[in-house]
Structure 1
Amino acid sequence: MTAEPDPDADTGDESGSSDSSDRHNVPIEGIQTYLSCPRQYEYEHVYRLTADDESPETDRLHLLRRAICAALRAGDVETLEERALEEFETQWDDYAEEVHSPTQRRHERRVLEATIRAYAEAVGCDHAKGLYATRATGITGELVGPDLPVTATVSATRVGGENVVDLDIDATIDYAFLEGSSFVGVRFVAAPDHLGLARYRDSWEGDIEDAFADHVDPESDRFEPRLVGTLFETATVLEGLRTLRDRLGLEDARTCRYVQIPLLDRGGLSVNWHRDRVETTLEPIDLTDRYLDHDTFGMTLEHRNRTIDGQLKRVTYAASTGSYEPTERWEQIERHACPTCPYTVCCPEYLSSEVAFDG
């Protein structure tokens, strides 16, 4: 078996220069897959098997992200909405999607255009002002993506050995800016379904803390990979933002925050067929307080959570050092992950559970 990391090992990149260190790189999407099923992680991120998981929703999200980021990069608050719509129109002309009719295609286009307007009205213009004010401080470095990389580095010491394993966890955001004394990272997502319980609770203490503790408890049957994956992503992005903040020399930013903006959530969509009007609303979700442990904050004055950070280290270490057997949580994995997994045809655990011989 692979040795567990020392839970007392430091978090950060201080050990990166050690001659006795190994380095592993893992994307946060991989960690989230590992939470759902270690075997699926092995197929996707070790063997690099690919499944055809592209969907119209994914394509539409890419269209919106590129259009909005291009408008933000232009540097003019007053024309933000107009520029985003123009960029979207250019991309839409080259966008091919299988639809039932030209009427449906026209409707989908109008929904996405309404989304851009809703973004500009809800937060876009305010975020753009903060972005341009941040640029005006004289920093040299990119603040707008899409897919602006941020990386968290954690270090783990192998039990029984001296060498240190440096684990780089990669994530991306779409843009970052100063807002008061906080450095804010924003990522566009399709819908909030992936947040799990964090969609409905706004603080760590209470239900989120209990659900997290139950998920990591080997004696518990509770299985919350989406919630835990969201908290791990938040931890990764916040650490990456701290690194980016320090590299850019943003001394006024005492804390960092992470916000997701669902762009394709149809919950706020309103269609008036008689007046030929399409409108929608957006609800940004600040994940920082869902992650923040106030006891840790009181000790570090940073938005951190030692419980989450420690588990993130352990899971990342396991994923990067070959622990792929899903037997410990197989009943929950089979129930939650297998029905939509594209690799069941070659998964030994799944096949052995499906095939039985009389004897």
Structure 2
Amino acid sequence: MTEEQVGPDSRIEEFGTASLDVDGLETYLHCPRRYEFAHVDGLEGSDDETTIDDRITLLRTAICDALRRGETGREALADAARERLEVLWADHDERFHSRTQRRHERRVLEATLEAYVETVGVDHAAGIERLAAESTDGELIGPDLPLSSTVSLPEFETGARAAAETSADSGTEIDVESVTIDASVDYVYADGRSIVGVQFVSTLRSLGLLRYRSDWDRGIAERFTDHFDPDADVFDPSFVASLFETAVVIDGLRTRCQQLGLEDRTCRYVQIPLADRSQTDINWVRETVETSLETKDLTDGYIDHHTYGMTHKHRNRTVDDRLADVVSEIAGGAFDPTDRWDDISNDACPDCGYTVCCRDYIAEEVRFDG
């Protein structure tokens, strides 16, 4: 789900929040004012990616439904997923410019499904079966299997105190001592002594450096801290949001492990892209499509081995502390983008659906000489 799709969020209170989600965090990192429009004011923005998101939803649903049937053999799993996709596609009412395009897009989905089964599907299905045998209770397959992480806000945070005072004046009680951040994965499986959460995404493009590095100390830490340094020439909100999401998901998986009676397991987070056309080979004459999948385990790039050595958990104190700071800013109603307007305007404004009502953007665009 993209930030422009977000409508009114009933969990958002005036100038504060008791809970939010990882999509909202990414929106805020790109532009605090956009977050205010989308999540506080409930204004609906435009979204050009809806059709792609809808197709991904079809694939996610087909794969999860096939996994839920308990098939672990390659052919059986592929057949179950294809059958489910066929049913979902028959009800898919997307408007194509021709029947040829509709047939082509279906072939792309089928090729992606085949690549999933071939690359990781069989292993993941077996891992789900093992986890189901080991766990005491709880859902393992989604899509949109809910997870959450509770973040304690920094003590004596000015923004948090201001939110509490504002809420007291308005008669609305807001718990600004902690905030619950919601996330989701599409399924969970066992891999040795680890519990792995898998999320289907469109592409891995937003990961930035995380896509190519798997060690916190090899450039990831520096880029993360530089993003928050006003003197550094770095502005990478999607990269930072990916680390925040990883922190939330892994913490949520720890809670789910407790629910499953598997407290001694470590947790990992994997993303699988379903709409990355860069690895798709199309033969227009034979009307065939072949593709491959690149999966990405975000855990290694997130783990700070110093923190792991002290806690024996997959954590990163630098990321966790900064996450608490950002959540505190949101709870305190810090939506003014002025401090980093040059970075934000270059990154967010070109494709923002809220520029027509954004006073910051209008003030920048409409100037009078003299």
Is TM more than 0.5 here?
yes
In structure 2, the residue matched to 1:239 is 251
Amino acid at match of 1:286: D
In structure 2, the residue matched to 1:271 is 282
**After the TM superposition, which of the residue ranges 157-166 and 284-293 deviates more from structure 2?**
157-166
The alignment partner of 2:44 has SS state of coil
The alignment partner of 1:250 has SS state of coil
TM-score where L is the length of structure 2: 0.87
Q: 1: distance between equivalents of 2:18 and 2:350?
A: 31
Which of 148, 156, 159 is matched with 1:158 structurally? 156
Describe how 1:100-139 pairs up with structure 2 within 5 A: 100-139=97-136
Q: 1: distance between equivalents of 2:17 and 2:56?
A: 33
Q: 2: distance between equivalents of 1:354 and 1:208?
A: 35
Contact 1:158 1:164 (C-alpha < 8 Å) held by counterparts: no
| 1:170 aligned onto 2:182 | yes
Contact 2:247 2:315 (C-alpha < 8 Å) held by counterparts: yes
Q: 1: distance between equivalents of 2:32 and 2:285?
A: 51
Task: Compute the displacement of 1:144 (Å).
Answer: 0.7
Amino acid at match of 1:281: S
In structure 1, the residue matched to 2:204 is 192
Task: Compute the displacement of 1:274 (Å).
Answer: 4.3
In structure 1, the residue matched to 2:53 is 58
Amino acid at match of 1:135: A
Task: Compute the displacement of 1:154 (Å).
Answer: 1.1
Task: Compute the displacement of 1:345 (Å).
Answer: 1.0
**After the TM superposition, which of the residue ranges 207-216 and 84-93 deviates more from structure 2?**
207-216
Contact 2:157 2:328 (C-alpha < 8 Å) held by counterparts: no
Contact 1:23 1:165 (C-alpha < 8 Å) held by counterparts: no
Pick closer, same or farther for the CA change 1:159–1:112 going to 2, 3 Å.
Answer: closer
Contact 2:17 2:330 (C-alpha < 8 Å) held by counterparts: no
| 1:221 aligned onto 2:233 | yes
Q: 1: distance between equivalents of 2:198 and 2:249?
A: 10
Amino acid at match of 1:152: S
Task: Compute the displacement of 1:193 (Å).
Answer: 1.1
Q: 1: distance between equivalents of 2:207 and 2:63?
A: 23
| 1:67 aligned onto 2:56 | no
Which of 30, 38, 61 is matched with 1:36 structurally? 30
Q: 1: distance between equivalents of 2:315 and 2:263?
A: 19
TM-score where L is the length of structure 1: 0.90
In structure 2, the residue matched to 1:205 is 217
Q: 1: distance between equivalents of 2:285 and 2:367?
A: 59
The Cα RMSD (Å) is 1.7
The alignment partner of 2:116 has SS state of helix
Identity value in percent: 51
| 1:143 aligned onto 2:140 | yes
Amino acid at match of 1:294: H
The alignment partner of 1:178 has SS state of strand
Task: Compute the displacement of 1:221 (Å).
Answer: 2.9
Q: 1: distance between equivalents of 2:23 and 2:306?
A: 28
Q: 2: distance between equivalents of 1:197 and 1:49?
A: 32
Q: 2: distance between equivalents of 1:323 and 1:23?
A: 12
Task: Compute the displacement of 1:214 (Å).
Answer: 0.8
Q: Residue by residue, what CA displacement relative to the aligned partner does 1:177-206 show, whole Å, maximum 9, x if unpaired?
A: 111111100000011111122122222112
Q: 2: distance between equivalents of 1:309 and 1:199?
A: 20
In structure 2, the residue matched to 1:338 is 349
Contact 1:158 1:165 (C-alpha < 8 Å) held by counterparts: no
Pick closer, same or farther for the CA change 1:191–1:23 going to 2, 3 Å.
Answer: closer
Report how many aligned residue pairs link the two structures: 337
Q: 1: distance between equivalents of 2:202 and 2:61?
A: 14
Segments of structure 1 that go 5 or more residues without pairing to the other structure are: 1-21
In structure 2, the residue matched to 1:260 is 271
Q: Residue by residue, what CA displacement relative to the aligned partner does 1:95-139 show, whole Å, maximum 9, x if unpaired?
A: 122222111111110110011111011101110111011111252
**After the TM superposition, which of the residue ranges 134-143 and 170-179 deviates more from structure 2?**
134-143
In structure 2, the residue matched to 1:24 is 18
